[in-house]
Amino acid sequence: DLKDRGNDFAFNSGAAGYILSRVTMKRLGKKWSEKDPECTAENAPAFIQGNPGLVTARCLSHILHVSALDTRDEYGRHRFHAFGLVRVIAGKVDDWYNKKHETLDGVLGVDNVHHHKLQSGTLCCAPRTVSFHYVEGSETRSLFEVRKRLKEEPTISDDELKKFMQKVWPAERKEIGFYAHGLPNDDSTSWENILQVMRMISSNEHIDGLDNMAGVHC
């Protein structure tokens, strides 16, 4: 959830994706069909016209009276990630994204622990993580393969898991993509967090509800 400049509504980052109820989706589709001015970009300010997520958020808030919800878990860990796995764990996301979270106490309610600030390390990601954004095809397939291996072989050692990730994960910039970060060097201390988070988001103990939707957004 983000709060944008000059607007009186919060919006969910379309980059990471979000979930709408079936009823809300039907109501939203109806407003689009009716070309409701609050739900289309045609008569909106130029900035909103170039951001379909803002158009949708304005329609949900002003017309359908549907508010964005805090989708983090009870420990403040996010389920929807606007950046890839390695960047999220390292906490190396863009400044604009960090700043968008600074006003969320006034939007989603006061968070006395984190004040809605993004967490890093093993606190970055909820076990029931749903999606990662800015992930190219090669990393998408690698993430799938690693999660599949962990579900089939949950007792695999950290050393074996690390070697498997190094084997299947893209290493060339053209495969990683512009926004993603590659895996760290072999001797980096970041590996402990990466392996722990991979185990956490791949655990068979969490295969229900949102877990069945775990995936990526390119």
Q: pLDDT digits over 35-71, tens only?
A: 999 899 887 778 777 788 888 888 998 999 998 888 8
* Predicted confidence band of residue 5 (pLDDT cuts 50, 70, 90): low
User: Which pair of structure tokens corresponds to residue 28?
Assistant: 């939203």
The full length of the chain comes to 218
> Which residues is 80 bridged to in the sheet?
131
* Distance from C-alpha of 86 to C-alpha of 191, rounded to nearest angstrom: 10
Please give the mean pLDDT across all residues of the chain. Answer: 87
Closest to 125 (Cα-Cα) out of 57, 176, 171, 76:
76
- pLDDT of 91 over the 70 cut: yes
- pLDDT of 211 over the 60 cut: no
> Which residues is 1 bridged to in the sheet?
none
* Distance from C-alpha of 12 to C-alpha of 117, rounded to nearest angstrom: 15
* Distance from C-alpha of 140 to C-alpha of 136, rounded to nearest angstrom: 6
Q: What is the pLDDT of residue 214?
A: 44
User: Which pair of structure tokens corresponds to residue 10?
Assistant: 């919060």
Q: What is the mean pLDDT of residues 101-121?
A: 87
* Predicted confidence band of residue 99 (pLDDT cuts 50, 70, 90): confident
User: Which pair of structure tokens corresponds to residue 211?
Assistant: 């877990």
User: Which pair of structure tokens corresponds to residue 36?
Assistant: 């409701």
> Which residues is 131 bridged to in the sheet?
80, 215
Q: What is the pLDDT of residue 80?
A: 92
Q: What confidence tens digit (pLDDT) does each residue in 137-159 have?
A: 999 999 999 999 999 999 999 99
**Helix, strand, coil content of the chain in percent (nearest 5):** 45, 5, 50
Q: What is the pLDDT of residue 6?
A: 54
Report DSSP letters for 15-53, one per residue: TT-----HHHHHHHHHHHHTT-TTTSSTTS-HHHHT-HH
Q: What is the pLDDT of residue 44?
A: 78
- pTM beyond 0.75, yes or no: yes
Q: Which residue has the higher pLDDT, 206 or 143?
A: 143
